Amino acid sequence: MRRISTEMFFRAANPRLVALITSGSVEEPNAMAATWHSPISFDPPLYGVSVSPKRTTHSLIRETRSFGVNLLPYEMVDSVHTCGRISRRERSDKLELAGVKVFSGPDLGVPLVEGAYTSLECRLVREIELGDHTWFVGEVRSVLFEGTEKGVIDVSAMRPLLYLGSDLYVTVDPESVRRGRVRKGKGRMR
């Protein structure tokens, strides 16, 4: 291993699932790419996303006090990347340009992305300024999911999109799926 600058720590934490964070309204929606997002709590169900105050998304989340988290298949890489490199400040037709279509979420009417395999509608419950980003915490109010009853994605049918850094994306190899076993010592496993 090689020691690198602490400024690059986030790159060293890749690959990560990349999401489109949606905000605004269905009539005037916005979407930005985000890799800094995470589930936080089972009960209440909470989800967090770290957004720079420079993003249009930041002011939209504050205005509507809601946001969407959309996980997209690998095939939608260019749509996601466009939403991650162009701000709605520069291009009001950003979503059209990216080829992203939205529909109204069932609980809050948050714009959600067509073609996502997971979409969460979140109501903003807290925001915490941490360094140069704001950690927006949302209570998950609806979940749309394209997976099995057990909540597992069939990765041979739906390949998740991950970000490697430096404009590079990757997905998973369905052949690599295996069940984890707990090591019991002396070479035995359960």
Ligand X SMILES: Cc1cc2nc3c(=O)[nH]c(=O)nc-3n(C[C@H](O)[C@H](O)[C@H](O)COP(=O)(O)O)c2cc1C
Residues found near ligand X in the complex (CB under 6 A): 18, 30, 32-36, 50-52, 55-57, 81, 84-89, 163
Q: Report the residue number, 23 or 119, with the smaller CB distance to ligand X.
A: 23
Number of C-beta neighbours around residue 51 at 10 A: 25
Q: Report the residue number, 81 or 123, with the smaller CB distance to ligand X.
A: 81
DSSP string, 91-160: -TTHHHHHT--EEE-TTT--EEETT-SEEEEEEEEEEEEETTEEEEEEEEEEEEE-S-TTS---TTTSPB
Q: Which residue in 108, 94, 102 sits closest to 22, CA to CA? A: 102
Q: Report the residue number, 54 or 126, with the smaller CB distance to ligand X.
A: 54
Work out how close the CB of 51 gets to ligand X at its nearest, in angstroms, rounded to a whole number. 4
Work out how close the CB of 75 gets to ligand X at its nearest, in angstroms, rounded to a whole number. 16
Number of C-beta neighbours around residue 29 at 10 A: 23
Work out how close the CB of 109 gets to ligand X at its nearest, in angstroms, rounded to a whole number. 19
When CB distances to ligand X are compared, the closest residue is: 84
Work out how close the CB of 118 gets to ligand X at its nearest, in angstroms, rounded to a whole number. 17
Q: Report the residue number, 26 or 106, with the smaller CB distance to ligand X.
A: 26
DSSP string, 10-42: HHHT--EE-EEEEEE-SSSEEEEEES-EEEEET
Q: Report the residue number, 26 or 86, with the smaller CB distance to ligand X.
A: 86
Question: Tokens 């690059």 map to which residue?
Answer: 8
CB-based contact 89:96 (threshold 8 Å): no
Work out how close the CB of 88 gets to ligand X at its nearest, in angstroms, rounded to a whole number. 4
